[in-house]
Amino acid sequence: MTKTKSETYIAEINDLDKKGSGRAVVWRDIGEQNPRKLKLTIPQTLPGEKVQVTVGQPDRKRTRVMPEEIVEAHPERVGPECPHIERCGGCVWQHWQYTGQLNEKTRHVKKVLEEQGFDPNLVHDTIGMENPWHYRNKMEFTFAKDGSLGLHELGNWRKVISLETCLIAGKEMVEATMEVADWAKEHQLSGYDKDEHEGLLRHLMVRQSFATGEIMLGLFATESPNGELSQVAQDLVARITDKFPQVKSLLWLENTDWADRTQSENTHLLAGRDFIYDEMLGYRYRIWFDTFFQTNPTQAQKLVELALEMAKPKETEKMIDLFCGVGTFSLPFASRVGKLAGIEIVPTSIESAKRNANDNGISNTYFLAKDARNGIDEVLESFGIPELLLLDPPRSGAGGKVMRRIGRAQPERIVYVSCNPDTFAVDIKELEPFGYELVEVQPVDLFPHTMHVECCVLLVKK
């Protein structure tokens, strides 16, 4: 079979896809009356730009290619600061001036709301960061087959780029990560092969509290640190404790599952304790390796403050915190309402929420480990109808059944904290038949240099 010859095009970027890459259409002249459409996905491009690309298999209907040359640049294009930008799949918008990123996020939130019939003028400008670098308090790095440590290549989860730096992680986090990378290299430890399902080291998770400075290092491996690996593990302990006194938790986590997730079948505490302390708005939280906690503490605090400002909680009111996690929103709200019930499907998170409430001297909370829809029914039966309900669902949204259950409960005010505008717009549409009105939408940028944006939203009963 003859291989199709590659073809070069000048493509104009029409818009962006959900991963932040540019999209374009070119027309192939195949010697027939009607040219054939070829849809292109082109990373690291901006709307309106014209770029040169070469398509290796132009006989396809759609394909992904990298730009060879920016023929006409967007006026907000800037030079990326990270040396990994050409290959890393993380900060895909480093080439976009930060104000442009914020404007695009505002535009997207308005667009998805307008598509559902809401007034886009209710959306405020996205709140950005004064310094949109080194903002993350948690990172997960992956070991390549040769034992080198890094991040997944753009568009190829099987390929790992060796790490030199990371400009969105805290600086001390990167330094500790590089020490682990050097340790693995010096001991010639193998990385996990996803195809053959063999090798020792899988992931390194690093977390740091920006409030307390405490760091957690969690090394995910396919074997225990005992027996033949005992001396190797002890060398890691010696190196980390000597150079990084701020590491208060050093964990070795066994994971033999085929799924490529940071999970643990057996957790070995190498040094320190199995959690670190973090703080937000004066409240202290215990953070374990599998605890969900907002990864941008600076903006997360603004998000909590916005929720409080919109909700205007009163000490005479009852409140439900749906998808409450470890109590990120629960604790600040519980200090301002009469009673608060938190609902979360993950039992370990509920145990953490109870412990966090106790650590902060908060006694007016009730936490329930149950799925959202059934949890609401159980709480309403014993708790009564709340004046205030807050929900902070995962990216997939709360779903129609949960939203309709909220609507039937008839709280006076609903604060929806969203990490995905697309699902949130669909969710709140479910509340309209129950008499709820959208009052305001405030996007907040928790993930600079990516396409993600969070929203804090207020709905009230008419």
313 close to 337: Cβ distance less than 8 angstroms: yes
Q: In the structure encoding, which two tokens stand for residue 270, read together? A: 């190498």
For 145-200, strand residue ranges (E) read 149-153, 156-162
* Distance of alpha carbon 25 from alpha carbon 383, whole angstroms: 56
- From the candidates 88, 166, 419, 455, give the one annotated as an active-site residue: 419
166 a catalytic residue: no
| CB 172 within 8 Å of CB 208 | yes
Measured over all CA atoms, what is the biggest interatomic distance in the chain, rounded to whole angstroms?
A: 77
Residue owning tokens 């903002």: 135
Q: How is residue 423 written in tokens?
A: 């699902």
Place of tokens 């909590």: 304
What 8-state DSSP symbol labels residue 168? S
The whole-angstrom distance between residue 84's C-alpha and the CA centroid of its chain comes to: 20
Q: Write the Ramachandran bin of 71: left for phi over 0, alpha for psi from -120 to 50, otherwise beta.
A: alpha
What sections of 247-313 are H helices per DSSP? 297-311
Burial group, residue 399, by CB count within 10 angstroms (0-12, 13-18, 19+)? middle
Burial group, residue 34, by CB count within 10 angstroms (0-12, 13-18, 19+): exposed
- Give the list of residues 6+ apart from residue 223 with CB closer than 8 angstroms, or none: 200, 229, 254
The residues assigned a catalytic role are: 419
